Chain A
Amino acid sequence: MGETVAVGTRILYVEDDHRIRGAVKLALEDEGWQVDESETGEEAIASFGRAPTDVVLIDIMLPGMDGFEVCRSIRRHSDVPIIMVTARADTHDVVAGLEAGADDYMTKPLQPKELSARIRAMLRRARPSQPGNPRLQFGELEIVPQEGVVSRNGVQIHLTKTEFRLLVELANSPGKVFSREDLLEKVWGHGVFGDGRLVDVHVRRLRTKVEADPANPRHVVTVRGLGYKLQP
């Protein structure tokens, strides 16, 4: 694995179990990250406001304010990449975490090396550097990949970095059908066995932001049984 981590990349790690927190912090520091710890959701939100944070890692099961709540709260004023950590891989937790605004999720037991790889992929795509078309137009939608700006009818739309990457990926090949695997690979850097729900929930979130009528999408459309595509 390429060990080129920007010096001073800060991870905010929210976990109530101090033994897990301690061990994972040590392992992540070995990978070159700087880790800020929080024991509760409330503490995490306070600390998020104080120090610049590049990635947030949230355990769902927290006393008091739970992980979903923390995620929603951070998402209200930041598009920082968020990874949810869950002890249960059942649909409910995963989908709820993604709906709350998380970009990705991991299940315990965490393998710190894999976690690092995910963070690295996330930071990479959080800084889009691909030289695509300078300006893409889809009906009333305008996308400027280099500047990370999307606007509808001239009004700028606020997207998270993952949502933006997803939109640009689809927009770079208009009309081409992307399977869920394709998008997982290109947007999240996961392999064939990634979780398709990541794509589904992000597409849904994207639609609520860019479509005039999210229930009847005109641009981000579903291709029956195959995947998704973007059309003008």
Chain B
Amino acid sequence: MNSSAGSPSVASPSVVPPSRDSEDRLLLRQLYRGLQIGLRGRITLAVALVALLLSVVLSVTTVTVAKTTLLNAREDGLSNQAIANAETIRGGLGSTIETADLQTLLSSLPGTGAPSIVIGTTGVGGNEPTTVSVDARYGIDMLPPDLIRKVADDREGSIMRFRAGGESLLAVGIAVPDSDLSYFQVNQLDDIDTAIRSLSLTLVVAAAAATLIAMGLGFWASKYALQPLTRIGDAAEAVALGQLDTRIDYDDYAADPDLAPLVANFNDMVSALQERIDRDARFASDVSHELRSPLTTLNASIEVLANNRDTMPERSQKALDLLTLDMQRFTQLVEDLLEISRFDAGAVRLELDAVTLVPTIEAAVRMVSKSTVPVESDPALESVVIACDKRRLMRILANYLDNASKYADGATGVFVDLHEPDGVDIMLSGSTVRIGVEDNGPGVPETERTKIFDRFNRGDQGGSRGIDMGVGLGLALAAEHARLQGGRVWVEDRHDGGQGARFVLELPMIEPLEADDPEDLASVTAEEAEEFALTGQLPAIRIDSGTERPS
């Protein structure tokens, strides 16, 4: 429900009888809304994604560079050592090569602790290569065949990384100069692997932290970035609720070339709106005065004529009767038009009274209906007092009863029932009272039931426009009167299944204000009334000091 007090279509929300359908639709809409990400969410998400991407690229680069650097350093060290060792072997070798000698020689080489050394020989005294190893764990058979071939056969120095026995290893092979010997030195790389792994882990954690921090920053920054938008949104909402003097302080944004025009335009728009509404309200008030003055003359003159009706010729009497009837219609039309223009201009005031419901309804029915219409009320409502606008309640009832006598042979009964919330109904969530006016006329067909609450719609039977037919504003006004009090109106079938219609007014059961002074009940502004209509919540008591005028 929007809160434009007067657009012509506002009757619709208040004339819809309770239905399951609307609830389902609302739930769907809420679900759909829940799945959508707002502007702020999108900004936050984008910032977080960029941070994540940057962190990942940075981490991968860091790990790669670190690994390469460590491995290169290790390879260089190992190669240099291996070359030096190969030189030592060459120098230490005599003319004959004995396996035992080699073993001794190898053991004396520097840097042969944990990284073990293997010497493979090919063609030493035969076809079978002899191998000597300082560490029993590492033999020639665990070296990659490619490496052996390259060194032993091609006599080239070579370096290779490989995995064996669940270990990550680095091997350097040197062809010992001036001999058939090949020298291999092996080094474990597990320490480098461990270092890289712990570095990776640290970087993953850092990336995650950076992403989270970016998310927070994005959320925080977007709040500031969107603050003007939020402010404009709040202001627009206030305007929609009727606070037309709402403005955004231009000075706050004057320095911002992006926001200044937006704020200025917004303020201009609200000013134009306020001016327009003020003008409409003034117009309604002026029209009120202009129309009521001649109506007073006309009414009084007709009354003078009616006082002398008996002395008139028959034709004049007939003319006078026509005049009298249409004068009544015209007066009612003017009143209704003024009333509806007040709604349109947003110049409505809700006058909340503590109303003893049942006696008031009985009095209203007595006052309006010419014949006696029985009022049946729920005993639980016997002495219930609610806060409502008595005049508007009266106008709605009068309209219902009036319609019943125009379109049927008068109302057959008025029913006042207590209605407890059934959980299905989303519009009115508290206890309500339903006032139904039944007639035994032709009833209202399903297709017409919403339409008859539109302005100047007479229903399908509108063909017979007798002279005392109403003008079609009454039900539209009834809908507005009800909506303003947080209630609604609709038409349904008679509850006893008989031919005819039942027009219903539903009002929320609102405890009257505990006002210090009964007159405080009446001081409710249009905005408060609108809030009341939307939320069913009574506005706080506002003591209007303006009424304390010296007498």
Contacts and interface: CB of A to CB of B under 8 A. Distances in A.
A205 B295 contact: no
A101 B549 CA distance: 12
B551 A88 contact: no
B69 interface: no
A101 B551 CA distance: 7
Interface stretch (A45-53, A151-159, A164-172, A224-232): A224-232
B390 interface: yes
Contact of B519 (A108, A191, A196): A196
A109 B296 contact: yes
Given A27-B303, A87-B289, A108 B360 contact: no
A225 B518 contact: yes
Interface stretch (A36-44, A110-118, A120-128, A141-149): A110-118
Contacts of A222: 516-518
Contact of B299 (A61, A96, A110, A196): A110
Given A180-B518, A197-B519, A208 B551 contact: yes
B297 interface: yes
B364 interface: yes
B52 interface: no
Interface string B506-531: 00000011111111001000000000
Interface stretch (A4-12, A17-25, A131-139): A17-25
Given A88-B285, A197-B522, A205-B551, A23 B304 contact: yes
Interface in B389-422: 390-391, 394
A78 interface: no
B517 A200 contact: yes
Contacts of B299: 109-112
B440 interface: no
Interface string A206-232: 001000000000000010111110000
Interface of B, secondary structure class, is helix
Contact of B295 (A99, A101, A108): A108
A20 B293 contact: yes
B223 interface: no
Interface string A90-111: 1100011001110000011111
Given A90-B349, A99-B551, A23 B300 contact: yes
B300 A26 contact: yes
Interface in B352-370: 353-354, 356, 359-360, 363-364, 367
Contacts of B457: none
A107 B292 contact: yes
A109 B518 contact: no
B461 interface: no
B331 interface: yes
B79 to A, nearest CB: 101
Nearest to A95: B547
Given A23-B304, A27-B303, A110 B296 contact: yes
Q: Which of B512, B519, B550 has the most CB of A within 10 A?
A: B519
A216 B239 CA distance: 39
A61 B354 contact: no
Interface in B437-474: none
Contact of A193 (B285, B300, B390): B390
B300 A24 contact: yes
B354 A193 contact: no
Interface in B263-303: 285, 288-289, 292-301, 303
Nearest to A116: B303
A224 B367 contact: no
Nearest to B359: A192
A140 interface: no
A27 B551 contact: no
Given A90-B349, A107-B292, A224 B300 contact: no
A109 B295 contact: yes
A191 B364 CA distance: 10
A199 to B, nearest CB: 8
Contact of B513 (A19, A225, A227): A225
Contacts of A199: 518
Contacts of A111: 299, 303
A71 to B, nearest CB: 10
B513 A192 contact: no
A87 B359 CA distance: 31
B7 to A, nearest CB: 23
B30 interface: no
Contacts of B385: 225
Contact of A108 (B296, B307, B518, B550): B296
Given A24-B296, A200-B517, A227-B518, A192 B360 contact: yes
B285 to A, nearest CB: 6
Given A24-B300, A90-B349, A191 B367 contact: yes
Given A90-B349, A108-B293, A193 B519 contact: no
A150 to B, nearest CB: 17
A228 B518 CA distance: 9
Contact of A100 (B349, B514, B551): B551
B143 to A, nearest CB: 103
A19 B297 contact: yes
Contact of A88 (B288, B297, B304, B519): B288
A87 B294 CA distance: 11
A23 B285 CA distance: 24
Contacts of B359: 192
A27 B306 CA distance: 10
Nearest to A30: B307
A191 B522 CA distance: 18
Contacts of B512: 225
Interface in A66-88: 87-88
Contacts of A197: 519, 522
A23 B297 contact: yes
B293 A87 contact: yes
A16 B240 CA distance: 41
A187 to B, nearest CB: 15
Contact of A87 (B288, B307, B353): B288
A204 B547 CA distance: 11
19 contacts: A17-B297, A24-B300, A27-B300, A27-B301, A88-B285, A91-B522, A96-B549, A99-B547, A101-B551, A108-B296, A109-B292, A109-B299, A111-B299, A192-B359, A192-B390, A193-B367, A199-B518, A200-B518, A228-B518
10 closest A-B pairs by beta carbon, nearest first, are A109-B295, A200-B519, A23-B300, A108-B292, A87-B289, A192-B363, A27-B300, A109-B296, A23-B297, A23-B301
